[in-house]
Amino acid sequence: MLRQIAPVVLFFAPVVAAQESSAILSNPFNTPADRIEGARLFRSQCANCHAEDGRGTSAGPDLSSGAFKRASSDEGLFQIVAKGLPGTVMPGFSLSGREIWQVLAFIRSLSISRARETVTGDASRGAALFRTHGCGGCHDGLLGPALGESVRRKPLFELRRSITDPQVEVESRWWRLRAATHDGAALSGRRLNEDTHSVQYADPSGRLRTVSKADLTQYEIVRKSPMPPFDLTDGELDDLLAYLVSGAP
Amino acid sequence: MRLFSVLLLAATLAAQVPYSRLRDAAKEPGSWLTYNGTYFSQHYSALDQVNRANVSKLGLQWVFQARSLEKFETTPLVADGVMYLTEPPNNVIAVDPATGRPFWMYEHTLPEVTYPCCGKVNRGVAILGNSIYHATHDAKVVALDARTGRKQWETTVANYQEGYALTHAPLAVKDKIIIGPAGGELGIRGFVLALDARTGKEVWRFKVIPEPGEKGNDSWGGDSWKHGGGSIWLTGSYDPELNLTYWGTGNPGPDWNPAVRPGDNLYTDCVVALDADTGELKWHFQFTPHDEWDWDAVQVPVLADLEWAGKPRKVMLWGNRNGFFYVLDRATGEFLLGKPFVKQTWARGLDAQGRPEKIPGMGPSRQGTKVWPGVQGGTNWYAPSFSPLTKLFYLTAWEDYHGTYFTWDQEYEPGKWYVGGGVKAPVPPTRREPIVTRGTEDGYATIRALDPRTGERVWEYPMADMSESGLLTTAGGVLFSGSREGWFFALDAASGKLLWRIYLGGQVIASPITYLVNGKQQISIAAGSSLFTFAVLE
């Protein structure tokens, strides 16, 4: 068993040194064979929480987008896998240093295969379409998603589908509420949070409010997207996506 | 001066908490002497100063802030004016229950990587004599001087590098300290172990997974017993009259690849009744033979004396992770009653012996099988309660909650995950995020009161999100619990009506306790990373 642990310790030595010289240590085990071994390890050690395709389950987040919340460098990811994330169920693993690098090579390859989806449209034509269709009016991060973030989180085919058919999958954080109080007032807006006794929401003017459920006579969650379906040609969609990828707001 | 030193001497000579006080803990409701309150584990207190009439006047007395952001699962003990609690990962702290000010702290040094599965948590300690007993992630039991926190002895009970970790509070019975390991997701073989409380030497060991030649080994096809799992996640119970100690055992491994372990897989997913002096198995009852979903019997065995079919009977009440509520005769293990308490789709029902009649095709599959309940189960480790006052059994249930179970092949490697599959569910098993926007159609938590004689529901208190909070009932007619949302609240134990609530701002993932300080009743609960203490404000 000590044999198992020792390589991790050895690998920490250069990691620490790298931090001190503020250089970023990159993955030394990144051949196709390493990625195959990494995929095997991922399936046995990680997939029960992160899913076989790395897209995440209720027990662990999506690791396939290439964007991480807790680290950005390979070195940071290495630390996460070796030590776990304190305060979360993400455990530390007794994998050897080599094995951790191989798993990371596999995880990185997931987002590289996503990034291969090429954009063929014209970003400046896309910017014009974005303006004329009033997309920016909703996509401010409060009423609708900040699309720069969407581009980092989701593959292009999903974003494309969202534009042509916004109702396909509306994430619950974009659900809205419709409610009425005892004194007859009608409430509406984007639902931000909810618990047994209250609802937090942004009203149509963008003001943040809380209402107690005890004060409501009617309460309905609107799960449909407020975004209208846009009838765009394939070429126009390509242009819009090119604009989003080029750095939408 | 002379009188003072005589008193001091007397205090040092008398064992602080002899076994007799643990045995009679129900008669001493001013203290909270074991993890589950008493050996019967009813999470019921005879204190009634705080009651239905004045519970709405509860107010904050003090807060203890842990230095860790890990899930705070501690359930403290209170004895002779000192509260003993644990802070993640393995620190023990003695505080003044009147003020929250610490007297001493023991910090256990852990290796960099340990494997307590699902968070570096600890649930509490045991007290016996002048010692506090604490179990650690590197599979050690340590005895501490109750007055100073100084280590008296330390015993290693397993090799933590093979996935063994201790997370629950030990149970002190007579002169023994009883404990068992987590690790069912890493191919361990579970056991219940008794150590000599004075020396830390092993006295007996019950193997959850029998070895070749031992009874029950033939319930494992081939070599599958070798990594059979069977964790002990939670403190057991004890009946002094029968001299039996009861423990719930964990799932078989690998969790979701049942094909590699044909058979019933004894003694996983069981309650085992062990002779407290010898560890000999007197009886067992298996809730989920050949478990395919990871439904550990990870519950507190609740013991009660009930009128059953016109005669007094010593029973055990059990709301299981598999979604069924059970009543067993705790002297013999006889199955008396079983009934689903949440939506379940894996069994047609239970037969006359309490064995589930499984519906074929509900096990994990390559393409995924959708089953109710999901992997966290109809309930999980959070303490239920039985109130001798209302004669009702209470538990935190996850209703209408499903999972999609996947299977795949996996080789065992020491110290690594050995689960053979995964589960997708719309609801996270543990949530710390304060933002919750999902709807309740994917499941919600509810506190349910069941009549143990019929298994019928008497009332329920549904919540918007899930809950992993244990329960406490009192002679004041009140039920205390919390939620993942961060509420701590009091219900009328007879009707389920909400009497009082306070927002503590962090998930409750522990059980409340109650005790007296200077003759006044207090209630303590861990939420977020802090322990909060309440009393009626004058």
Q: Which amino acid is at B97?
A: P
What is the pLDDT of chain B when averaged over all its residues? 95
Distance of CA B51 to the CA centre of its chain: 26
Is there a domain that residue A1 lies in? Answer: no
Beta bridge mates, B531: B64, B526
| A29 pLDDT more than 90 | no
Q: Between chains, do A196 and B485 touch, taking CB under 8 Å as contact? A: yes
Q: Looking at the domain that runs over B2-536, which CATH code has it been given? A: 2.140.10.10
Instruction: Specify whether A216 is located in the same domain as A231.
Output: no
Q: Between chains, do A45 and B416 touch, taking CB under 8 Å as contact? A: yes
Is there a domain that residue A42 lies in? Answer: yes
Q: Where do the domains of chain B lie?
A: 2-536
> pTM of the entire structure?
0.88
| A2 pLDDT more than 50 | no
What backbone torsions phi and psi does residue B58 show, to the nearest 5 degrees?
A: -65, 140
From residue B334, alpha-carbon distances to A23, B272, B315 in Å are 66, 12, 9
Q: Between chains, do B423 and A57 touch, taking CB under 8 Å as contact? A: yes
The structure tokens 């390493």 sit at A34
What backbone torsions phi and psi does residue B451 show, to the nearest 5 degrees?
A: -80, 115
pLDDT confidence of residue A86 = 74
- What is the residue range of A50's domain? 7-118
User: How do strand B44-45 and strand B472-474 relate by DSSP bridges?
Assistant: parallel
Coil vs helix vs strand at A35? helix
Residues of B known to be catalytic: 294
In the 3-class helix/strand/coil scheme, how is B263-291 assigned residue by residue? CCCCCCCEEEEEECCCCCEEEEEECCCCC
Q: Which residue has the higher pLDDT, B504 or B70?
A: B504
* Single residue among A74, A99, A118 that ends a domain in this structure: A118
Task: Find the mean pLDDT for residues B407-418.
Answer: 88
Task: Find the mean pLDDT for residues B21-50.
Answer: 98
Picking from B118, B428, B485, the nearest residue to A58 by CB comes out as: B428
What is the rounded end-to-end Cα distance, in angstroms, of chain B? 38
Instruction: Specify whether A57 is located in the same domain as A101.
Output: yes
pLDDT confidence of residue A22 = 32
- Mutation pick from B71, B186, B407, B416 vs chain A, by most beta carbons of A within 10 Å, is B416
| A17 pLDDT more than 60 | no
User: How do strand B102-107 and strand B126-128 relate by DSSP bridges?
Assistant: unpaired
Contact A240, A163 (CB under 8 A): yes
Coil vs helix vs strand at A57? strand
Instruction: Specify whether A31 is located in the same domain as A81.
Output: yes
Residues of A with Cβ-Cβ distance to B256 under 8 angstroms = 48
| A14 pLDDT more than 50 | no
| A201 pLDDT more than 90 | yes
Q: Binning pLDDT at 50, 70 and 90, where does residue A114 land?
A: low
pLDDT confidence of residue A116 = 59
Q: Binning pLDDT at 50, 70 and 90, where does residue B14 land?
A: low
Q: Report the number of distinct structural domains present in chain A.
A: 3
Q: How far apart are CA B146 and CA B82, in angstroms?
A: 9
Q: Which residue has the higher pLDDT, A8 or B527?
A: B527
Is there a domain that residue A215 lies in? Answer: yes
Classify the C-alpha dihedral A87-A93-A98-A99 as positive or negative.
negative
Helix (H) or strand (E) holding A150: helix A147-153
Kindly provide the residue ranges of all beta strands, DSSP E only, lying in B389-440, ordered along the sequence. Answer: 392-399, 403-407, 421-424
User: How do strand A198-202 and strand A208-212 relate by DSSP bridges?
Assistant: antiparallel
Residues of B with Cβ-Cβ distance to A59 under 8 angstroms = 423, 425, 428-429
Q: Between chains, do B117 and A197 touch, taking CB under 8 Å as contact? A: no
pLDDT confidence of residue B207 = 98
pLDDT in tens, B207-230: 999 999 999 999 999 999 999 999
Q: Binning pLDDT at 50, 70 and 90, where does residue B441 land?
A: confident
| A85 and B CB contact within 8 Å | no
Instruction: Specify whether A166 is located in the same domain as A241.
Output: yes
Q: Between chains, do A196 and B463 touch, taking CB under 8 Å as contact? A: yes
Q: Which residue has the higher pLDDT, A153 or B302?
A: B302
pLDDT confidence of residue A113 = 65
Instruction: Specify whether A200 is located in the same domain as A218.
Output: yes
- Return the CATH number at A202: 2.30.30.100
Task: Find the mean pLDDT for residues B309-323.
Answer: 97
The CB density around residue B194, as the number of other CB atoms within 10 Å, is 26
- Return the CATH number at A80: 1.10.760.10
Q: Among the ranges A111-115, A135-139, B175-179, which has the highest mean pLDDT value?
A: B175-179
Q: Which residues of A174-188 are buried (b: 16+ CB within 10 A; e: fewer)?
A: bbbbebbeeeeeebe
| A186 and B CB contact within 8 Å | no
Instruction: Specify whether A141 is located in the same domain as A181.
Output: no
Instruction: Specify whether A37 is located in the same domain as A109.
Output: yes
Angle between helices A32-41 and A97-115 (to 10 degrees): 100
What backbone torsions phi and psi does residue A133 show, to the nearest 5 degrees?
A: -90, 0
* Closest alpha carbon to B390 in B458, B326, B440, B439: B458
Coil vs helix vs strand at B371? strand
pLDDT confidence of residue A73 = 85
Residues of A with Cβ-Cβ distance to B161 under 8 angstroms = 1-2, 4-5, 94
